[in-house]
Amino acid sequence: MPRWTFGAAALSLAQGDLTRADADAIVNAANSGLLGGGGVDGAIHRAAGPELLAACRRIVAEIGSLPAGQAVLTPGFALPARHVIHTVGPIWRGGTAGEPELLRSAYAQCLRLAHEHGLARIAFPAISCGAYGYPLPLAAPLALCALRAGLEAGLVRQAAMLLRGEPAYDFWRGEALRLFGPPDIL
């Protein structure tokens, strides 16, 4: 698992199941209603148990739907991670509807929320890169740079990108190598 160090913090990339991550929090690439669904969102809801859906419904009853680029926190319930940070990434509409700013904000808000709650280790999926159609060549460098900025600011001690499948992992690893150079730890 390659790892890059930024100040006192580290970024790692791995293939894996986000629902099994050894982290203080995992990030859910949620829909604005926080009601579960397909992909990462559905997997997290299934693994956490019905209490997660109930907690999400309480949040939506209080604040309404969660806008793209924002994040909220719930307990992790049956997950190994103590918390789930739910964020809504932008739906890709060709890049002219503020998608880069919203995607950057989604990563930044997750890191900020983790920091506010004293969470040191956070694991991310590739937000918006599934059903929301954000092109990997545009999403990966933006996400990696947002994570680096948060790590350099001391928001968390460790951030991990957990990617599904070898092609996704190889792509993100290639982007990290291009942006950051060789990892400190392989």
What secondary structure does DSSP assign to 115-181, as a single string?
HHTT--EEEE--TTSSTT---HHHHHHHHHHHHHHHHHTTS-SEEEEEESSHHHHHHHHHHHHHHH-
Q: And the tokens for 141?
A: 């460098």
> If you ran DSSP here, which 8-state letter would residue 17 be given?
-
**Location of structure tokens 């790692």:** 12
Quote the Cα angle for 3-38-95, to 5°: 70
pLDDT digits (tens, 9 = 90+) for 44-96: 999 999 999 999 999 999 999 999 999 999 999 999 999 999 999 999 999 99
Domain hosting 55: range is 3-175
Per the domain annotation, does 10 fall within a domain?
A: yes
Per the domain annotation, does 182 fall within a domain?
A: no
Per the domain annotation, does 183 fall within a domain?
A: no
Residues serving a catalytic function are 41
Other C-beta atoms lying within 10 Å of the C-beta of residue 104: 17
This prediction has a pTM of: 0.97
Structural domains of the chain, count:
1
Contacts of 153 (CB under 8 A, 6+ apart): none
Does pLDDT of 186 surpass 80? Answer: no
Per the domain annotation, does 185 fall within a domain?
A: no
Query: Which residues on neighbouring strands pair with residue 158, listed in sequence order?
Result: 10, 121
Quote the Cα angle for 161-165-168, to 5°: 60
Type and span of the H or E element at 186: none
Per the domain annotation, does 40 fall within a domain?
A: yes
Provide the CATH number for the domain around residue 122.
3.40.220.10
**How many residues make up the chain in this entry?**
186
pLDDT digits (tens, 9 = 90+) for 10-47: 999 999 999 999 999 999 999 999 999 889 999 999 99
Per the domain annotation, does 69 fall within a domain?
A: yes
Per the domain annotation, does 76 fall within a domain?
A: yes
pLDDT digits (tens, 9 = 90+) for 109-136: 999 999 999 999 999 999 999 999 999 9
Per the domain annotation, does 184 fall within a domain?
A: no
